[in-house]
Amino acid sequence: MSNKNTTNQPGSSTQHVVGTNNPPSLSSNMGTKSTLELKHRGKETLGKLKAFFQAAPVAAGTFSPLKTAMNELVNVFDVVEAVAENQECYEELYSEFQSIFDSLQPYADKLDTEARNSSVARIVQLINAQIVHIKKRQEQGKTRQMFGFRENQEDLIKRYRQVASLFRQLQNDINLRIWNNTDRQLSEMQLKGMSPVRNAIYDSSFSRTVNRRGCTRGTREQVLETLQNWVQNPHSAKLVWMSGMLGTGKTTIAYSLCEWLKDEKQLGASFFCSHSSDACRDLNGIVPTIAYQLARYSPAFRWSLSHALEDDPDAPIRNVSAQFNKLIVEPVARVRTALPEGVTVVIDALDECDNHGLELLELLLKHAIDLPIKFFITVRPEPVIHKTMMTVARPMDLDGITSPMVEDDVYKYLAEALGNMLGPPTDDQLRQLARQSGKLFAYASILVLYVNPSTPYVDSSRRLQAVLLQENDRHGKSAGPSKLFIPLDRLYDNVLGRAFDDKLELEELQNVQNVLWTIICGGEPLSIEILAELLQLTNDQVFLALKPLHSVLHVPEGGGLVTPVHASFSEYLLDKSRSGQMHCDGPRQNERLAHRCFDLMNTKLFDLDTLAPSYSTTPDPKEQANVKISPSVLYAGRYLDTHLHANPTSNLHASLNEISCGGIPSSWMRVLEALDLKSSTMKALYTSGTAMSQQPPPPSYSTPSPLLRSLHGCPAIVCI
């Protein structure tokens, strides 16, 4: 197909595209032509252009979106006629449109159903967007009044130039689609030779296997609206990333975004990583799969990719960096102006790939700004990813969304998912299930799969009651239905399997385990500083040990309390039948924590030489204590009894029982009262006394403890 305005390389800088320059001044030739001559020529030109627009829909053939766009052009043509002053502008437009439609007419009827969800449909959509803008002005009032000012006249011409530019882009797309049809066999062989991971496409058949789905209607509305605005804004960042802990709904949001992008004809490609499939977590498969989908979406890209594969047939099996350059960067560079605006690529759960997908992340950060494509990526809050990505921009942080907002969305999801049960749950029951789920959408999804599965032979009502009545023994086995936990346990198994990486030294692995177990068995949420004191580590050592656990532990930036992602994670770890090798030995860890609390109280809380005198001279001993005593010592005083109670056989009971029998120094009592620790300490001593009354003290504790030896000579003893 020949046309004087096209070249053999679509999208190149030499290709003629209307609208790339500012529109000429509307009065540039007014001084050289008479008004009568301009009006005569204008009337003649506008008549031709209007007649041409009216005939143009014929060129659209049977492709209804294109035919509709051309019809709309006819409907808004009165706006052009109403503001006609500079006739050369309209003569140029007439010439441009005539050239385009002459080229389109022989081929438009060859557009097939594939074109309805590809770049052709997106270009037509952009044409319609320009027409809608013109129509809005037309409907606002009297046309001459609306466009009487120079800037509005120029805006109108600019928009018609943009329409012409889009039609030229459409012409290139159709030309290349015809080329693809001619060489389809060769092109198909090249694409199949790339070995794309089809299971990683968002709506593949595999998506049903892993229960991948979009958001329930009415949920995550604010997040999705933010993403949609980002896609539609031509001046927004080329790359956006979303961070969220395990099970917080990242994949569901990414799926919904893909659905919306597909409806808007802007989905260039998707790749959903998954630990359930070796192929879907292979980093080497991502770039070829994205290039494959972009080729299906855009004939221009397909043409360019075909040439790239002819030059280097082995590009799909090279390293990730070479793949990205050969299959994305270079092919896009050849046809960048032929790609429609707003094409977006979605990559979900990139952190599940080898080395957290860091190599691909770095390539995207380097090249995204120069590509006419947008990228959306979801990851868990792995520190190594955050360190890389934070150099560019902060993430959309799902963990930062307030609990009530998330709980309301979980409630809506549960109401829809359980609404078709025979005897559906009441509103109060749904609220209770939403509270149980907390921020963990994955937990709610697992509840639904258990209570209301697709199999018809399940007593859903009975299962619902079992879930509602479940009570979990914090230091024992989970009392809930056994089958309920299987999918959740697989998620936790996967995360912890990666956390306890065999690349770590034994001491590093022990630190990870000790930090995790202490958080699980702690009497309250703990800060990094308290964890360090309890475990006799440095703050940096604790921070490093937490790094591989960010997917299941919430670690606030800049300090704060470390907490599990959900109560079910603690239950999983404390139940050996569920967590297996990852099991947290609750009694053993509570024994360690009880000893450490006792040591902290012994060495720091009851240092009589430094603390006791201060209480005799200050009018407010409580204020003095709060200054002197560290948070870890306060924790020790509050929770010694808790850790003792969790292990009735602790060998620490003997030492504490000796204190109980011998009496407590009065200086101790002043400190305990000042810190509001008297009650908790008394409970600890009572717990030990009760335990010792049921078993003989171990021989190893027949010798007085260092603490008891330090009490010799204390003047005042308080007996209990």
For residue 567, pLDDT over 60 is answered with: yes
Domain shared by 310 and 245, yes or no: yes
Average pLDDT of 603-627? Answer: 52
Q: What is the pLDDT of residue 283?
A: 95
Hey, what are 698's tokens?
């171990």
Domain shared by 544 and 570, yes or no: yes
Nearest-angstrom CA–CA distance, 720 and 718? 7
Domain shared by 579 and 597, yes or no: no
Answer with the one of 182, 215, 246 that is the final residue of a domain.
182
Q: What is the pLDDT of residue 164?
A: 72
For residue 127, pLDDT over 80 is answered with: no
The maximal CA–CA distance of the chain, rounded, in angstroms, is 120
Domain shared by 45 and 96, yes or no: yes
Residue 69 maps to a domain: yes
For residue 109, pLDDT over 60 is answered with: no
Number of domains in the chain: 5
Instruction: Please give the residue that has the higher pLDDT: either 559 or 711.
Output: 559
Residue 368 maps to a domain: yes
Average pLDDT of 488-496? Answer: 89
Nearest 5°: phi and psi at 249?
A: 105, 15
Q: Looking up tokens 């018609």, which residue turns up?
A: 160
> If you average pLDDT over every residue of the chain, what do you get?
76
Nearest 5°: phi and psi at 526?
A: -115, 150
Could you read off the pLDDT of 28-61 as tens digits, one per residue?
344 444 545 545 554 555 555 555 555 555 555 5
For residue 26, pLDDT over 50 is answered with: no
Domain shared by 237 and 386, yes or no: yes
Domain shared by 177 and 257, yes or no: no
Residue 278 maps to a domain: yes
SS3 content of the chain, % helix, strand, coil (to 5): 65, 5, 30
Could you read off the pLDDT of 243-283 as tens digits, one per residue?
998 889 999 999 999 999 999 999 999 999 998 899 999 99
Q: What is the pLDDT of residue 163?
A: 74
Residue 245 maps to a domain: yes
Average pLDDT of 461-481? Answer: 66
Domain containing 155 equals 35-182
Domain shared by 455 and 551, yes or no: no
Q: Looking up tokens 């992602």, which residue turns up?
A: 565
Closest by alpha carbon to 42, among 83, 101, 102? 83
pLDDT band at 691 (very low <50, low <70, confident <90, very high): very low
Average pLDDT of 612-622? Answer: 48
Nearest-angstrom CA–CA distance, 694 and 692? 5
**Is 717 within 8 Å of 661 (Cβ atoms)?**
no
**Is 341 within 8 Å of 234 (Cβ atoms)?**
yes
For residue 424, pLDDT over 50 is answered with: yes
- For the whole model, what pTM was predicted? 0.71
Closest by alpha carbon to 374, among 235, 238, 226? 238
- Min mean pLDDT across 131-140, 199-208, 282-291, 337-346 is at 131-140
Domain shared by 380 and 515, yes or no: no
Instruction: Please give the residue that has the higher pLDDT: either 68 or 293.
Output: 293
**H or E segment and range at residue 153:** helix 150-182
**H or E segment and range at residue 488:** helix 486-499
Residue 338 maps to a domain: yes
For residue 569, pLDDT over 80 is answered with: yes
Cα-based angle 433, 569, 542 (whole degrees, multiple of 5): 140
Annotate 331-387 with three-state secondary structure.
HHHHHHHHCCCCCEEEEECHHHCHHHHHHHHHHHHHHHHHCCCEEEEEECCCHHHHH
Give the CATH number for residue 330. 3.40.50.300
Answer with the one of 153, 182, 211 that is the final residue of a domain.
182
Nearest-angstrom CA–CA distance, 67 and 124? 10
- Min mean pLDDT across 210-224, 442-456, 531-545, 694-708 is at 694-708
Pairing state between β 396-397 and 239-243: parallel
Q: What is the pLDDT of residue 236?
A: 92
**H or E segment and range at residue 590:** helix 586-600
Cα-based angle 631, 636, 641 (whole degrees, multiple of 5): 145
Residue 12 maps to a domain: no
CB atoms within 10 A of CB 670: 18
Burial class (CB in 10 A: 0-12, 13-18, 19+), 38: middle
Could you read off the pLDDT of 155-205 as tens digits, one per residue?
666 777 777 777 777 766 666 665 555 566 667 788 888 999 999 999 999
Domain shared by 160 and 104, yes or no: yes
Q: Name the 3-class secondary structure at 295.
A: helix
Could you read off the pLDDT of 302-320 as tens digits, one per residue?
888 988 998 999 999 999 9
Q: What percent of the chain has pLDDT over 70?
A: 62
Residue 445 maps to a domain: yes
Domain shared by 238 and 312, yes or no: yes
For residue 427, pLDDT over 90 is answered with: yes
Q: What is the pLDDT of residue 671?
A: 63
Nearest 5°: phi and psi at 41?
A: -65, -40
Domain shared by 236 and 158, yes or no: no
